[in-house]
A and B are shown apart, each in its own frame.
Chain A
């Protein structure tokens, strides 16, 4: 994978994904190593994303790499009107790899085409965020011991949720059964259902999940945002339907784990946090190891 970029999860074959996950396991056992000593990594955050940036920077720091970059484009040359093309061409002269977060869709693909060093997409608008998808896959494999034949529940905003879209595409490689639970306004878009139809995979759509929760292996929660509703009354009607509470977890499978890309607001009640089935904070930690694995793969170090 040396000198390749990671823009979209589809850029990697199944074998390459599994290789990253195996490598992530290695980094989880031994996260502090001087593998990036002498390397300079640029983290270019054209829009703020504290969580993702800290995760990448923690991964780089633990491996002894140095970081250059910015966390907000308002105090960079972008505010002077520099094109993305020029920024990337310039920065790629200064570093060994670029991590980019940008509000415009397709910006990371474009950056990877003009850059002379590998590019990692840390989120391009509503499009892709592949390191999130890889850490989700790692968390699923780690908690379930496998990726094949799982029953995955996705709950909340399935229409605009970039993470659930990428996860559907990625998990479709392992004969997954999907249960999509969302309000009518925020249903999984047709293009993803069509994709699953073409693969012959099973999926079910529900507006509530209290009755079926006992069959889930993974519950992937997302936030239902008020701003997504055209009618505020509709939001009031459904806002409590998509909140996970500890009392709902009684009859769930022992292997079941709850994931969430974070930040959480109120869609997972705090009383769930102490339940051993709550996995979202460990999931975030897995993100550091996953990013270490991605960085070292693309730089040809591992």
Chain B
């Protein structure tokens, strides 16, 4: 099983592997982490089979090591993501993502009468529930629930 995964996307020498990304959110993860704006070598595979997610994606980024607070920003779109930190082709550390206490600039407020939907204001939320994620808007104070969450 493990070998099959490695055949889908080739191994890297130094960097980070983000595994267990829901296939449908691959490009959102790329966007949130700003991977579309860096010069590093990146390989990704998507629509790979996963028992847990159905179809998953995997991203391998050469020469990039994320800070926890940066990587936690993908928690809304890839809550089950697992990170392998690779040095010299070896996994030296494994990490999971955690929903942070505040979410800045990732989700859209579901309240159509909120200022963030009228003017160019960076959205900001306090996470009021981490399990079934629900967000309280810093501006209009309304709750956006997981079912209604839209990623910008």
Q: Which residues of B contact A107 (CB under 8 A)?
A: 115, 139
List B104-149 residues whose CB lies under 8 Å from chain A.
Answer: 109, 111, 113-116, 118-121, 137-143
B119 touches A83 (CB 8 A): yes
Q: How far is the CA of A43 from the CA of B104 in the complex (A)?
A: 31
The answer to whether B115 touches A106 (Cβ under 8 A) is yes
A39 within 8 Å of B by Cβ? Answer: no
Evaluate whether A191 and B138 lie within 8 angstroms (CB atoms) in the complex, with A104-B114, A104-B118 already known: no
CB under 8 Å from chain A, chain B span 84-121: 109, 111, 113-116, 118-121
The residue in chain B whose Cβ has the minimal distance to the Cβ of A83 is B119
- The answer to whether A125 touches B139 (Cβ under 8 A) is no
Which residues of chain A have C-beta atoms less than 8 A from B137's C-beta?
106
- Closest CB of chain B to A230's CB: distance in Å? 19
Question: Which of B111, B119, B120, B143 is the one whose CB lies under 8 Å from A105?
Answer: B111
Interfacial chain A residues near B142, Cβ < 8 Å:
105, 127
Contact B115 A8 (CB under 8 A): no
Please provide the chain A residues from 170 to 202 with a CB less than 8 Å away from any CB of chain B in the complex. Answer: 191
Complex: chain B residue closest to A126, CB-CB: B113
Summed over the interface, the residue pairs from A and B with CB atoms below 8 Å come to a total of 47
Q: Is A249 an interface residue (CB 8 A)?
A: no
Counting chain B residues whose Cβ lies within 8 A of the other chain, the interface size class is 10 to 19
Query: Given that A127-B140, A127-B141 are contacting pairs, would A110 and B115 also be in contact in the complex, using a CB cutoff of 8 Å?
Result: yes
B115 surroundings in chain A (CB, below 8 A)? 84, 104-107, 109-110
User: Does B143 contact A106, Cβ atoms closer than 8 Å?
Assistant: no
Nearest-CB residue, chain B, relative to A107: B115
Q: Which residues of B contact A105 (CB under 8 A)?
A: 111, 113-115, 139-142
Q: B139: which A residues are within 8 A, CB to CB?
A: 105-107, 109-110
Partner of B116, one of A83, A106, A191: A106
CA distance A91 to B105 in the complex (A): 27
**Given A105-B113, A105-B114, A125 and B141 contact (CB-CB distance below 8 Å):** no
Q: Which residues of A contact B120 (CB under 8 A)?
A: 83, 85
> Would you list which residues of chain B between 41 and 80 have a CB under 8 Å from chain A?
none
Instruction: Name the B residues within 8 Å of A128 (CB-CB).
Output: 141
Mark A84-114 against chain B: 1 for CB-CB distance below 8 A, else 0: 1100000000000000000111110110000
B114 CB, min distance to chain A CBs, angstroms? 5
Residues of B within 8 A of A8 (CB): 141
Distance to closest chain A CB from B135 (angstroms) = 13
Are A125 and B113 closer than 8 Å at their CB atoms? yes
Alpha-carbon separation in the docked complex, A9 to B119 (Å): 24
Tell me the complex Cα distance, A103–B114, Å. 10
Task: List A contacts of B140 (CB < 8 A).
Answer: 105-106, 124-125, 127
Note all chain B residues with C-beta closer than 8 A to A110.
Answer: 115, 119, 121, 139
Bound-complex Cα distance A106 to B111 (A)? 10
Residue of A nearest to B109 (CB): A106
Q: B141 to chain A: which residues have CB within 8 Å?
A: 8, 105-106, 127-128
CA distance A247 to B111 in the complex (A): 43
Which residues on B sit within 8 Å (CB–CB) of A124?
140
Give the contacting residue for B119; candidates A85, A103, A109, A191; CB below 8 A.
Answer: A85
Given the complex of chains A and B, what is the CA–CA distance between A104 and B137 in angstroms?
Answer: 14
Q: Residue on B with the closest CB to A104?
A: B115
Using A83-B119, A110-B119 as known contacts, say yes or no to A191 and B143 having CB atoms under 8 A apart.
yes
User: Mask for A113-136, Cβ within 8 A of B = 1, else 0?
Assistant: 000000000001111100000000
Residues of A within 8 A of B109 (CB): 106
Chain A nearest Cβ from B8, distance in angstroms? 44
CA distance A105 to B115 in the complex (A): 6
Convert A31-62 into 0s and 1s, putting 1 for each residue whose CB lies closer than 8 angstroms to a CB of B. Answer: 00000000000000000000000000000000
Residues of B within 8 A of A (CB): 109, 111, 113-116, 118-121, 137-143
7 CB contacts below 8 A, A to B, read A105-B111, A105-B140, A106-B114, A106-B116, A110-B115, A110-B121, A110-B139
